[in-house]
Amino acid sequence: MIDNIKCCVIDDEPLAAHLIASYVEKTPYLTLSRIFHNASEAVQELLDSDIELIFLDIHMPALNGLELARITSGKCRVIFTTAYVDYAIEGFKVNALDYLLKPVSYDEFLSAAQKALEWKELTSRPEDHDSSKSTDSRISHIVVKSGYRMQQIAVSDIIYIEGQKDYVMLYLDGEERPIMTLMNMKALEQTLPTSSFLRVHRSYIANTSKIKVIERNRISFGGLSIPIGDSYRQQLADYIESHSIMAIRPERP
């Protein structure tokens, strides 16, 4: 069982701050560490402490919420709580888990907190999964959570996978849009059969059966293509060599 997520609330409006704090305190898997009424006084503590999640207002004096999120990027995750819809795109650019518009209901808060719990569970998993999973070519389907749905995907339908921090995008045959799920690339790489999937870049895993052309620094799947990372060139070269059929000239009589 994972430990509770340690949170703080940062909002220059006391009523709004205490409302969110009350939501934190009645959510079993969250623990409230502190309330701050401006972002500037929170910076050093956030960098030095073990706070993992910030419920963060955007419009604040001196240092705004977006600026604070950039400073603490990689240290804490953020759920924005704001009265302004205009900053939603900027919010997701700093990898916010969610963007809540005031006044925030507890149902809305809980939905966002659930994303934080999923993130915590994923990042708390040990890396040393059962190695039999990574080599088991009999795995034919995986189940992923996308939004509020659990979706079963045939591994043979996966063209390639793109990693985006704590999320991955699965590009599938016959689907116009990729499926987005909260998962890390390492866990997915260890789950997929190594007989069919190859890491070709820090951010990409390719289904080798879907590859059409390998040319220069890119792999093409027909209408889609992905880059080849420098540190993955050798294992791609090994794959090419092991699957190449060299033309053999007939001996002259």
Q: Residue 1: which residues within 8 A CB-CB, separation 6 or more? A: none
pLDDT tens-digit map of 66-85: 889 888 877 889 999 988 77
Task: Look at residue 198 in the predicted model and tell me its pLDDT.
Answer: 94
Task: Look at residue 210 in the predicted model and tell me its pLDDT.
Answer: 94
Task: Look at residue 132 in the predicted model and tell me its pLDDT.
Answer: 42
Task: Look at residue 135 in the predicted model and tell me its pLDDT.
Answer: 41
Helices first, then strands: H and E counts in the chain = 8, 15
Say what the pTM is.
0.53
> How would you class 198 by CB atoms within 10 Å of its CB: exposed for 0-12, middle for 13-18, buried for 19 or more?
buried
For residue 129, report the phi and psi dihedrals to the nearest 5 degrees: -65, 165
Task: Look at residue 151 in the predicted model and tell me its pLDDT.
Answer: 80
Average pLDDT over all residues of the chain = 84
